[in-house]
Structure 1
């Protein structure tokens, strides 16, 4: 799943591009903003894979290039603007793509494909989850879990229930979104607002006529039933 943010100071343009991105099975818009300050906050909070940025963010406000000058994190950026004359500068700054308004669906599709390829290349050189550990606080003590011991993370309000491959469950006082920011591995896939699964623990997927799926994870006595949207996200991930 390609997680993106959309930054544009014009609400109609921001909403339209967000809808177009969310219509793609392999894309999830995790946040939107109207300024560079909001863009920086979104990057820090959600750690997305990519950002769609307008260049002109209003008179007297920092333009889209400001974040490229200030940011050193490995995010991809796509500029979205009504002006063609900034393209050379955008690619000189390492932009993944440059879209002209009004954005055509076919052109956006090519930009998303390019982002997905760049995401795969980046993850291909990243370490796997087998030797990685995560620290959690349980009953006042810190425990260290191997990521490959985690079958699923499930949101429960301000808490997250950690399902382990050996059948044990741990309720942790930490939101699911915090786990998502801390754990960045291809094996861990957020398929819905409330569930992240460790794809390496999938043992079987059973489809039904209604479009739902029953996903059996290693060490879990009951399969996870997911709806059509989550099933599409899982299929989009598997094609990656």
Structure 2
């Protein structure tokens, strides 16, 4: 794993690094520490990362300016901050977890383990997905997304207005973040269950989910019973 710690207090950064190395061990390929917002933005732009551990107050700079960029990338972001009142907003932007300061090893380990176990989030609702578009970050409301299709290391977001946006996160990572309202009905598709109008059984044991806008999405054979039960 390639990990970046963004924290302006050296003592806390060293503690996070020590615990992270203890928890992940040999799985860590690189672990960097940056203390300023601008340096972190440059590092993210020029590096291949798997995880960012982010403080929200960096020498007085608002960490949300970095958060909107971080959550648009392929990696997961975990916030470690004393500003507990910002936890809901952080989750709405699409962080994997929010660890309040002061924290102990057990709480940090719980957060870090989610990046490995692929545990899904069902307690905090993401309300926005940040996507990179023409060199800028665009925030897309979750309510405007009908379904998501895997496209290799990326994902395609299909919106209610008929447009399509590309997200840098894989379908698996988005499934972790959006499992409260989207269902993995096929290896290549996440679908908002509230948009399904009908489940159709075709010859040859083929199953389809027809959405309210008339689009049909395939349902995996092994997922059919579970999808039907959740839809009903």
User: Scaled by the length of structure 2, what TM-score is found?
Assistant: 0.47
